[in-house]
Amino acid sequence: MVSNQRKKNPPDGDGQNVVPLIKGRRATSYDVARLAGVSQSAVSRCFKQGASVSQKMRERVMKAAEELEYKPNAIARGLITQRSNLVAVLVSGRLNLYYPEVLFRLTEELSNVGLRALLFTVDSEDEAGAVVEQAWQFQVDGLISASHLSRDQYEILEKRKIPVVFFNRYFTDLPQDVVYCDPAAQVEEIVDRLKTLGHKKFALIKGPDFNMVNRERCALVRKQVESVSGSNLIEAEGDFSYASGAAALQDIMSAGSDRPTAIVCINDMMAMGCMDEARQVLGLKVPDELSIVSFDGIGMSQFASYELTTIRQPIGRMCKAAVNMVRARASAPDQSNEKRVFEGALIEGGSIAAAP
Amino acid sequence: MVSNQRKKNPPDGDGQNVVPLIKGRRATSYDVARLAGVSQSAVSRCFKQGASVSQKMRERVMKAAEELEYKPNAIARGLITQRSNLVAVLVSGRLNLYYPEVLFRLTEELSNVGLRALLFTVDSEDEAGAVVEQAWQFQVDGLISASHLSRDQYEILEKRKIPVVFFNRYFTDLPQDVVYCDPAAQVEEIVDRLKTLGHKKFALIKGPDFNMVNRERCALVRKQVESVSGSNLIEAEGDFSYASGAAALQDIMSAGSDRPTAIVCINDMMAMGCMDEARQVLGLKVPDELSIVSFDGIGMSQFASYELTTIRQPIGRMCKAAVNMVRARASAPDQSNEKRVFEGALIEGGSIAAAP
DNA sequence: TACTCCTTTGCATTCGAATGCAAAAATGCT
DNA sequence: AGCATTTTTGCATTCGAATGCAAAGGAGTA
C-alpha cells in the first residue's frame, strides 16, 4: 500500500470540505493532513508540544483540524507512546465518607496535569486482585491506592514497573512511595488537653486490625493515654462506618464497671455514630457527660450537629503530593522511594469539655 | 517486513522461556504466540469470547500466556475494535454528598459489565466543555452525566455519536436518554401529611434556578402547597450545600412577618444545614417547632442527628438502568430515545411533627 | 551566486490486538 | 478409502498517531 494514501470512503472529486464525521466517523490526522495539504506527520507534530513546526504550517493545520473537529485520539497515541495518561485510583466503598473527599481532590489534581482518573472501588483485598489486573490491562501510567492492596499485589505492580503511590497506608517493611499524615503531635496535644480537663478514664473506638492507619493511630493513642492516665484503656472495634461507631459505644457502655468520660474514635465517621448514639439513644450529653475526639477532619465532621474535635489531614496537599509522586516515578522508575509525611492539624470543635 | 516475525530484543538462540518483562517490557500476543508455537491471531482468538478455537489450542496458549503474565492490551484492543470500554462519568464536586453515592454505584455497575469509569468532576458548564473534549479524545464508549452539561455540549456529543445518558436531569425539549426519579406522588403525600398535622405556613429552600431537577421539584412543591394551604410560599435559594441550607433558613426567618412552621428543602444537604441552623443557632426545636422535609434520601440523612423525612431516590436501580442504557445505545445508536422514570420512596424520619 | 548550517517537512515504520479471507486440518458420511 | 463439510488455523491488513531519519527548504555568509 502506498503510504499516506489511505482508503477513502467515497471517491471525492472536489476534495474540498470532505464530509466530516459521517455516521460518526471521526476525523483522523490523515483527514486533517489531506485537507490541509500536508503530511500526517506534520499534523501529529502540530499537536505535540515543543515539536518543530513553522508558524505557517501550524496555522494551516489548526484551521483544517478545527474544520473537521479533529482531536488526537488518545487511545492511538497511548499505543505508540506507551503512556495512557490514565491513573488508577483505588478507594473504598460507601462506608466512610473520607474517601469521596480524597477521590475528588485526586481527580482534580490529576486533571490539572493532564491525567485522568480511572476509578476503582475496592472493599476487600480479593477485589484488589482483579483491580490490579484491570489496571494492568488498561496500561495505567500509575496507581494511587487509598484502599486495600495486599503485599502480593503491590509486588506484582512493582515487578511490572507500574508506579504505585500509597495514600495513607503502607507496609512497614517494604520500600514504597507514600503520602502519609502523621497525627502524633496532635494526639499528644489532645490527650493532654483532655487530661487537663480532668479526664481519667478513656475509651478507644478503633478500626479493623488489618488496617495500618488504624494500627498507627491506636498505638499513638494507647501510648499517650497510658502516659498521662496510667489507667487501662477500654477498647471496642468498628469498621470505620457510622453504624459501627454507634455499636462500639454500646459495647463500651454496656461493658460494665466504670464508664469512660472521654472517647477517642479512630475516624470521624465512627465518631459521628458514637456521638449520635450517646445523645439520642443513651441520652448522654456530649460534651458535658462525654467527650469525643477523632481523626480525619472530613467536611461533615464540622456540621453543627457534630463539631468534632478532630485531627484533620491536609487532604489537598496530600493529593497534590500523591499526583506529583506518581508522575515522578513514571519518569524515573529507578529512583529511590520517597515518603512524604504531613502533619495533622487539630481542629477544636465543641465535642470536648471538662470531665463530669 | 516479513509478518509474524517481529524484531526481537537480543537474538535468542534457545527460544525457550524468553525473558519476560525485562525492564518492564510487557509480553505481547506475539510473545505468547512464539512461546506457544502458534500464530498471533490464535492468541488473540483465545482471549476473545465465542471465538473458534480448539480445546488443545486454548490450553497451549493459556499456559504460555500465564507463564509470560500476558494480558491483552486494552489500549491496542480499543484502537482496533473502536471500543475503549471506558465510560465518562460526570458528577459535581464536594458540596453535595449525593454525588459520591451515585458515583460509587455507577462505578460498581459499570464494573459488573466490564466497563471502567473515567471520572470527571464538573462544577460549572464551562468546565463541562473541556470534559466533553477530553471524553472525546479518550474515545469513551459513552457518558453518564449526573452533573452540568449544556445543551450545546449535549448536541456536540450527539453529533459525534457518543451515547449520553442523563442522570436525573434533562432538557425538556430535546430527545434524550434519561434516568429520572419522579417524586410527584411523594410530594403530594408528604405535603398532605403536613397539612393534616396542622401546618399552614410553608417555606421552600430551593436550589439554583438553572438546575432542572430543582425546578421540577419546586414546581411540585408549589403546586401542592398552594392546593392544600392556599397561602403563599416563602422561598429562599441555596446551592445544594449544607452551608447554603443554613443561610437560607436565616433568610427565611429574618424575613419577618409570619414564620413558616414547615420547610421543604430541595435536597438533603440543605435540609441538614437548615436543621442544624434551626436547632443550634436559632434555638428552635425540630420537629416540635419546625418541621423539615427534603429530597434525595442520601445515607447521612438518616443519621440519628437528622433522621430526615425525605423522598429517597432508588439510586441503585437508577444506576443499573443508566449503565444499561449507555450500553444499549452504544450497540444501537439509532434507536429512539428512552426515559426511565423511577418512583421516589417516602422515608418517614423524625423531622416532622404537628404544627406548634 | 555558491556554499554552509539550521530549520522544517515527509517517508516509512512502529505500537499490540482484531479480523476477513483462504488454506489446512479434522470430522462425517457413504 | 474417497469425498464433502465443518471447524481451526494462519496470513496479511487495519486501527490512528508518533518518531528516527533523510530530504528539502530557508537563512546567512562570503
How does residue B24 score in pLDDT terms, banded at 50, 70 and 90? low
Distance from CA of B356 to the nearest CA of A (A): 22
Nearest to A93 among B78, B104, B133 (CB): B104
B171 touches strand C (CB under 7 A): no
Q: How many residues does chain B have?
A: 356
Q: CA neighbours within 13 Å on the CB side: how many for B184? A: 7
Positive or negative: CA dihedral B30, B35, B37, B41: negative
CA dist., res. B170 & res. A212, Å (int): 44
Q: Is A281 at the interface with chain B, CB within 8 A?
A: yes
- Say how far apart CA B21 and CA A79 lie, in whole Å: 17
Residue-wise pLDDT tens digits, A44-87: 999 988 778 888 889 999 999 999 999 999 999 999 999 999 99
Residue that is written with C-alpha cell 453535595 in the block: B96
pLDDT of residue A331: 84
Distances (CA, A) of A158 to A118, A164, A334, A335: 19, 8, 11, 13
What pLDDT band is residue A4 in, cutting at 50, 70 and 90?
A: very low
**CA angle at residue A286 from A281 to A288, to 5 degrees?**
130
- Look up the pTM and report it: 0.89
Give the C-alpha separation, B198 to B196, whole Å.
5
Give the phi and the psi of residue A104 in degrees, each rounded to 5: -65, -40
Backbone angles phi and psi of A203, in degrees to 5: -130, 155
Tens digit of each residue's pLDDT (9 = 90 or more) over A195-241: 999 998 999 999 999 888 999 999 999 999 887 666 678 899 999 99
The residues with which A165 forms a beta bridge, in sequence order, are A144, A177
For residues B21-33, average pLDDT: 75
Span B235-261, mean pLDDT?
Answer: 90
Residue of chain B whose Cα is closest to the Cα of A70: B137
More confident residue, A286 or A296: A296
Q: State the nearest Cα–Cα gap between A45 and chain B, in angstroms.
A: 17
Q: DSSP of B152-167, one letter per residue?
A: HHHHHHHHTT--EEEE
- Interface membership of B147 toward A (CB under 8 Å): no
Return the axis-axis angle of helices B315-331 and B98-112, rounded to nearest 10°. Answer: 50
Residue nearest to nucleotide C15 (CA to C1'): A80
Query: Could you give the 3-state DSSP secondary structure of residue A244?
Result: helix
Residue A24 at interface with chain B, using a CB cutoff of 8 Å? yes
Residue A41 (CA) to nucleotide D22 (C1'), in angstroms, measures 14
Residue nearest to nucleotide D11 (CA to C1'): B3
Q: How far is the CA of A32 from the C1' of C1 (A)?
A: 40
pLDDT of B232 reads 74
Residues above pLDDT 90, as percent of chain B: 69
Rounded-to-integer distance, Cα A226 and Cα B229, Å: 62
For residue B279, pLDDT over 70 is answered with yes
Question: What are the start-end ranges of the H helices in chain B?
Answer: 29-36, 40-46, 55-68, 74-81, 98-112, 125-137, 151-159, 184-196, 212-229, 242-254, 268-276, 315-331
Q: How far is B184 from chain A (nearest CA, A)?
A: 28
Cβ–Cβ below 8 Å for A242 and B79: no
> In angstroms, how far is C10 C1' from A28 CA?
18
Predicted confidence (pLDDT) at residue A179 exceeds the cutoff of 90: yes
In the block, which residue shows the cell 452540568?
B148
pLDDT tens for each residue of B222-231: 999 887 666 6
Lowest mean pLDDT across B32-41, B69-78, B152-161, B252-261: B252-261
pLDDT in tens, B123-162: 877 888 889 999 999 999 999 999 888 888 999 898 888 9
Residue B12: pLDDT above 60? no
Q: Which of B119, B121, B272 to mutate to test the interface with A (most CBs of A within 10 A)?
A: B119
CB contact under 8 Å between B137 and A71, yes or no, is: yes
- Please state, in angstroms and as integers, the Cα–Cα distance from residue B102 to each residue in A92, A234, A253, B99, B176, following that order: 14, 38, 36, 5, 20
- The full 3-state SS of A41-101, as one line of letters, equals HHHHHHCCCCCCCCHHHHHHHHHHHHHCCCCCCHHHHHHHHCCCCEEEEEECCCCCCHHHH
Does residue B251 sit at the A interface (CB-CB below 8 Å)?
A: no
A115-to-A83, A98, A112, B97 alpha-carbon distances in Å? 10, 23, 7, 24
Q: Is A229 on the interface with B (CB under 8 A)?
A: no
CA angle A111, A112, A116 (to 5 degrees): 20
pLDDT higher than threshold 80 for residue B19: no
Which of these ranges, A116-120, B17-21, B291-295, has the smallest mean pLDDT? B17-21
CB-CB under 8 Å, B139 with A303: no
Torsion region of B256: left, alpha or beta (phi above 0 gives left; psi -120 to 50 gives alpha): left
Arithmetic mean of pLDDT, A2-22: 34
Question: Distance between CA A171 and CA A338 in Å, rounded?
Answer: 13
Any CB–CB contact under 8 A between A23 and chain B?
Answer: yes
Average pLDDT over residues A248-275: 91
What's the distance, Cα to Cα, between the start and end of chain A in Å?
A: 88
Beta carbons of B22 and B7 less than 8 angstroms apart: no
pLDDT, one tens digit per residue, over A330-344 is 888 888 999 999 999
Protein-contacted positions of strand C (CB under 7 Å) = 7-20
Reported as a pLDDT band with limits 50, 70 and 90, residue B174 is confident
Strand pairing report for B339-343 and B345-347:
unpaired
Which pLDDT score is estimated for A227? 79
Name the minimum distance, in Å, from the CA of A223 to any CA of chain B. Answer: 32
Q: Which residues of A touch B75 (CB under 8 A)?
A: 75, 78-79, 84, 138-139
Position of cell 428543602?
B265
- Provide the shortest C-alpha distance from residue B290 to chain A (in Å): 16
pLDDT average, residue stretch A89-116:
91
> Does residue B310 sit in helix, strand or coil?
strand
Chain A interface, best mutation among B303, B315, B323, B351, by max A CB count within 10 A: B303
Angstrom distance (rounded) from CA B90 to CA A212: 32
Asked if residue B87 lies in contact with residue B117, where contact means CB atoms within 8 angstroms, the answer is: yes
Question: Tell me: the pLDDT tens digits for A137-168?
Answer: 999 999 999 998 888 899 999 888 899 999 99
C-alpha to C-alpha distance for B164 and B301, rounded to whole angstroms: 30
Q: Are the CB atoms for A297 and A268 separated by under 8 Å?
A: yes
What is the C-alpha to C-alpha distance for residues B184 and B160, in angstroms, rounded to an integer? 35
Residue A107: pLDDT band (50, 70, 90) is: very high
Residue of A nearest to B28 (CA): A137
User: What strands lie across the sheet with B339-343, from one edge to the other?
Assistant: A339-343, A177-182, A164-167, A142-145, A86-91, A116-121, B116-121, B86-91, B142-145, B164-167, B177-182, B339-343
Q: Does B1 touch chain A (CB under 8 A)?
A: no
Cell representation of residue B261: 412552621
B161 touches chain A (CB under 8 A): yes
* Mean pLDDT value of segment B241-249: 95
pLDDT at res. B124: 79
Gap between the Cα atoms of A129 and A343, Å rounded: 32
Residue A356, pLDDT score: 82
CB-nearest to A75 from B139, B303, B306 is B139
CB contact under 8 A, A121 and B139: no
